[in-house]
Amino acid sequence: MSRRVAGVGLIVLLAAAVAPVLPAYPLTLLTQAFIVAILAMSLDVLLGYTGLPSLGHAAYFGVAAYAVAILATERQAGFATCLVVGIVAAAVTAAAFGLIAIRAAGTYFLMITLALGMVVWGLAFRWVSLTKGDNGISGVPRPELGLPWSLWGPLPFFYFSLVTAVLAWVLMGLLVVSPFGMSLKGIRESESRMRILGYNVWLHKYLSFVISGTFAGLAGVLWAYYNGFVSPVDVQLVTSVETLLMVALGGPGTLAGPAVGAALIVFLKNFVSVYTKRWLLILGAVYIGVILFAPRGLAGAFRGQRH
Amino acid sequence: MTRRALVLLTLAALLTGLGAALSAPSAARAQAGPIKVGLLAPLTGAASALGRDMVNGTELYLDEIGRQVAGRKIELIIEDTEGNTQTALTKARKLVDQDRVHILTGGLLASTGYALHPFVDAQKIPTTYPVMSSDDLTQRKPAKWVVRTGWNSSQSMHVLGDWIYKNTKYRKIATIGADYAFGWESVGGFQKTFEENGGQIIQKIWAPLNTNDFSPFLAQVKRDADAVFAVFFGKLALQFVKQYEDAGLKARVPLLSNGTTVDESVLPQMGDEALGTISALHYSAALDNPVNQKFAKAFEAKAGKVPSYYAETCYTNARWIVEAIKAVGGKVEDRETFLAALRKVDLKDFPRGPVKIDAWGNPVQNIYIRKVEKVSGKLQNTVVATFPAVSQFWKYNPEEFLKMPLYTRDYPPCKYC
Amino acid sequence: MTAEFWIIQTFNGLSYGALLFLLASGLSLIFGVMRIVNLAHGSYFMLGGYVGLSVVWRTGSFAAAVLVGALAIALIGIAMERLFLRRLSGQVLGQVLMTIGFALIFQDAALLIWGGDPYTIPVPGPLRGVLRAGALSFPTYRAFIVVVAAVVATLLWLALDRTRVGARIRAAVDDAEMAQGVGINVPLLSLAVFALGAFLAAMGGVIGGAFLGVYPGADFEVLPYAFVVVIVGGLGSLPGAMVGSLLVGLLDNFGKALFPELSYFTLFAPMALILALRPTGLFGRA
């Protein structure tokens, strides 16, 4: 654990140190990577630590992003309002969906979360008077934090995202090593045993679901500010699927792994597409290769090597 | 140091290293080097066929001039937007920050246009929009650094609404359109001039962009409609026109449409169901001026298909950029001057006809009323009427026009529904 | 709202549901026997349409297109199951992710081979036109889809209910381990079911391609519908797939016609409700 902390610390310090000398484009990609890392880590709480694979995680991410976009453009709401409402909206959505989804397990859970994610997508796509439908909401202004640096600049916004991601990582890290997190792992390993030991399994899973959705909401808030634009693309199935891939690629149950997985996918997509139109083909092959040859993700593969 | 930490460290180094590598050659070689043109186009995803037309059109012109102008080479850098705005924004940043393009162009969706506006104005990067047609991009929310070389959604629809009233007996028309900005603005423009003449729009139906079965919408079309006016594009257009006939409507109610519904990007894949459809656009592949004949032939040789408006507009856009580069003697680094030159291009011999730019950055150009006909076994948009030098404001006073709200789902309101 | 409106919309909903049945019945069976969430199932639909299109261009025969399209994709399904998915048997997540990888590859391969232009598959003369009943008119082709789906449903039902193979499949749906225990060759059965699922989806793709069109993006457009059908009907249940498809077809159709702003909500929300009351779907068993 402590080694992993050291590893993450090094990555973060390194990123923070090179950021000022990086040109604008790699910097925006790095920013994107840190934001998406929060999303991937949030799914890891659910998948890696509780054993519940969700195919609808973009829903909470998207609900928060939409809340920010609507408040910031139509109500000119400030950062604090947007942040709180965005995260609460994600949490409430997760709390409602959790009631339905937690009853199922395994494959059923996958399908139900997929379908629930589609409910949010359907609203984003068709509730035109609120969401502007497929046009999306553009012109979301970057927040004013009362700091000496304007977040309109790529560098300050990068640090803003980095700090938020680190904060999210610390909070989720504390959660998974807490007694609560330990019992989540217990549930992942054997639900029946935990039940016999007197744990309220349903409640644990439910809380994990809501917490996971809440952190996805945090990522959504940043995402809305980062792009200045929100559309149904942010809540579509493919976004949920990609998040799941990030976790699987990085290695579920490690937090840092999915974060690295997120960064890798962000860079892979933007890199490969520069050199070839056929980048989807390559991405698909990479996914299949990872699943075949490193079924526990990169983190798992490296851990395996050590033994 | 453990292996894992090492691995993570390597990864981190790799990522940032990649970042540094990305930053690539820089501004140092400015003036002498090639002029870089950054093109955003959807190369993957549902709109990839349109993206290919955009690329082919652009390359066709650049190849004609040997990719060289005013003593400098032209380097075209194409980036895939996947047909979504989030990706388009990232790629625009890449083109401007890393490739240091001198001019940014392309884009497909209206939302991409609106999202790019603040970016290009902040970066002060000369930009042209050959395809993105949302009205407000050059009306209520223009950007200083953007010149539109394509068209705007309601431009040709103002003409069509007027022409239909004056040249047909249709007085009550039902509309059905794709439920997003492009559909709203096209229907709005048509409704405004058609109703000002005395016609009535008796129904407005909106179909979501991911519709594939139109029957729930077709079943609603009112019985007393003299004609149906449709606004779709790409596969939606293909499905709609076909299902319109399948539902038995074509035989009863004639079909009118905007330009994209029967554009050459989908027309060759249509059958006889498209015959007789009347539409309006600033282009038709069947235009019989010599420049267009030559262009259409060259495009077919390159791409193996009839040029669509996407192809023509990107061909014209490429020429537009090149003319502006000529006008500044290749000194594109002086961005203000280059931008001014882009706005000043005024030529008579584009495939679509003469084009110049108005004070808001939108083209003033011919609008053609077209009818789908079969000529030697192939469907084409035969031009039946030409309206020269149509502005985005039609015959209205621009200041008065801009006081009106943007055309939306509910504006103009449907008085006769 | 006239009676005519209701009749025509009901017919449209039913015929759309019929097409969904072709797509979803295979998904449901695959799911029942193998517990695989196959995100490449929509790709079979799309690829089937493309292969069918090529066959029509070459031979001009619609029947050949349906047959060749369905068979070709069944082969792809067999290869996918035998060479890749089987290695991950029992790993729910790994299998899902792998099918995603395939979906991306199929998407790009289709773009590479057929380009991005949308097409429709031409149908034979007798299937064009409209059937008229009094003042009402129904597209002939939609009636044809209903008939095809009814025939397929009957055949599937007979096969599942009246044959030995069917009995084995049902046994495997109920409990794969137990079935293996009593001497049923579950891996072979799985392969057959997977191939059948791909076959049906591709057949739906060719038949659907004639009125929905064949275009890039069709894969992920139909996929959620197939999932909703399976979730509502119950995993691995043929009657569930039938009822689910018709329900989804009707809900989708009336949702779009009556509540356009909430149309997808009217589709997905009842599904969530059914799940809340019966987590295994209408006909599914835990």
The CA-based angle A232-A31-A262, given to 5 degrees, is: 70
pLDDT, position B333: 95
Domain membership of residue C136 (yes or no) is yes
CA distances from B169 to A60, B200, B270, B310 (A): 53, 12, 27, 32
Q: Which residues 6+ apart lie within 8 Å of C248 measured at CB?
A: C17, C20, C225, C228, C229, C232, C267
Domain membership of residue C5 (yes or no) is no
> Predicted confidence band at B152 (pLDDT cuts at 50, 70, 90)?
very high
The verdict on a CB contact (< 8 Å) between B23 and A263 is no
Number of domains in chain C: 1
pLDDT, position B11: 56
Q: Pick from A14, A28, A264: which is nearest to B90 by CB?
A: A28
The verdict on a CB contact (< 8 Å) between A284 and C101 is yes
The verdict on a CB contact (< 8 Å) between C220 and A123 is no
Q: Which comes out higher in pLDDT, residue C19 or C181?
A: C19
| Closest CA of chain A from C104, distance in Å | 5
Full domain range(s) for residue A139:
29-237
Full domain range(s) for residue C208:
11-216
Please, what is the end-to-end C-alpha distance for chain A in angstroms?
Answer: 16
The verdict on a CB contact (< 8 Å) between C16 and B215 is yes
pLDDT, position B286: 96
Classify strands B227-231 and B172-178 as parallel, antiparallel or unpaired. parallel
**Mean pLDDT (chain B, rounded):** 91
Query: For the whole model, what pTM was predicted?
Result: 0.90
| Closest CA of chain C from B235, distance in Å | 5
Same fold, B27-151+289-361 and B155-281+366-403: yes
User: In the predicted model, is pLDDT for residue B202 greater than 80?
Assistant: yes
Q: Give the CB-side neighbour count of residue C143, counting CA atoms within 13 A.
A: 15
Touching A: B residues 258-297, CB under 8 Å: none
- Chain C residues whose CB is inside 8 A of the A116 CB are 268, 272
Residue A252: asked if its preceding bond is cis (omega within 30°), the reply is no
Domain boundaries B155-281+366-403, CATH class:
alpha beta
The CA-based angle B304-B310-B312, given to 5 degrees, is: 75
Domain membership of residue A197 (yes or no) is yes
In order, the DSSP letters of B291-359 are: HHHHHHHHHHHHHSS---HHHHHHHHHHHHHHHHHHHTTT-TTSHHHHHHHHHH-EEEEETTEEEEE-T
| Closest CA of chain A from B126, distance in Å | 19
Under-70 pLDDT residues of chain A = 1, 301-307
pLDDT, position B25: 46
Q: Which comes out higher in pLDDT, residue B364 or C2?
A: B364
> Predicted confidence band at B15 (pLDDT cuts at 50, 70, 90)?
low
Query: If you average pLDDT over residues C250-276, what whole number do you get?
Result: 82
Domain membership of residue C245 (yes or no) is no
User: In the predicted model, is pLDDT for residue C221 greater than 50?
Assistant: yes
pLDDT, position C1: 61
| DSSP E strand boundaries for chain A | 137-138, 229-230
Residue C144's closest CA among B210, B218, B241, B246? B246
pLDDT, position B5: 47
pLDDT, position A3: 78
Domain membership of residue A295 (yes or no) is no
pLDDT, position C121: 93
User: In the predicted model, is pLDDT for residue B277 greater than 60?
Assistant: yes
Domain membership of residue C24 (yes or no) is yes
| Closest CA of chain B from A118, distance in Å | 14
- Chain B residues whose CB is inside 8 A of the C212 CB are 212-213, 239
Q: What is the pLDDT of residues B46-85, one digit of tens each?
A: 888 999 999 999 999 999 999 999 999 999 999 999 888 9
Domain membership of residue C230 (yes or no) is no
Domain membership of residue C256 (yes or no) is no
CATH topology of domain B27-151+289-361: Rossmann fold (3.40.50)
Instruction: Give me the numbers of helices (H) and strands (E) for chain B, helices first please.
Output: 12, 15
User: In the predicted model, is pLDDT for residue C27 greater than 50?
Assistant: yes
**CB proximity B409 to A under 8 Å:** yes
Domain membership of residue C238 (yes or no) is no
Q: Helix (H, G, I), strand (E, B), or coil: what is residue B231?
A: strand
pLDDT, position A87: 97
CB pairs under 8 A between A and B: 142
- H runs (alpha helix) in B198-289: 215-218, 234-246
DSSP designation for A141: P
Domain membership of residue C250 (yes or no) is no
Q: What is the pLDDT of residues C226-252, one digit of tens each?
A: 988 988 898 888 999 999 999 999 999
Range with the poorest average pLDDT among B11-15, B151-155, B176-180, C43-47: B11-15
Nearest CA in chain C to A245: C97
Q: What is the pLDDT of residues B229-265, one digit of tens each?
A: 999 999 999 999 999 998 889 989 999 999 999 999 9
Range with the poorest average pLDDT among A289-303, B385-399, C133-147: A289-303
In order, the DSSP letters of C18-68 are: HHHHHHHHHHHHHHHHH----TTHHHHHHHHHHHHHHHHHHH--HHHHHHH
The verdict on a CB contact (< 8 Å) between C12 and B271 is no
Q: Which residues 6+ apart lie within 8 Å of C259 measured at CB?
A: C265, C266
Chain B residues with CB under 8 Å of a chain C CB are 44-52, 179, 206-208, 210-213, 215-217, 219-220, 234-235, 238-239, 242-243, 246-248, 265-266, 269, 271
Q: Helix (H, G, I), strand (E, B), or coil: what is residue C185?
A: coil
pLDDT, position B2: 45
The verdict on a CB contact (< 8 Å) between B242 and C213 is yes
The verdict on a CB contact (< 8 Å) between A287 and C98 is yes
Percent of chain C's residues with pLDDT above 90: 51
Q: Which comes out higher in pLDDT, residue B6 or C153?
A: C153
Nearest CA in chain A to B84: A233
Range with the poorest average pLDDT among B87-91, B355-359, C91-95: C91-95
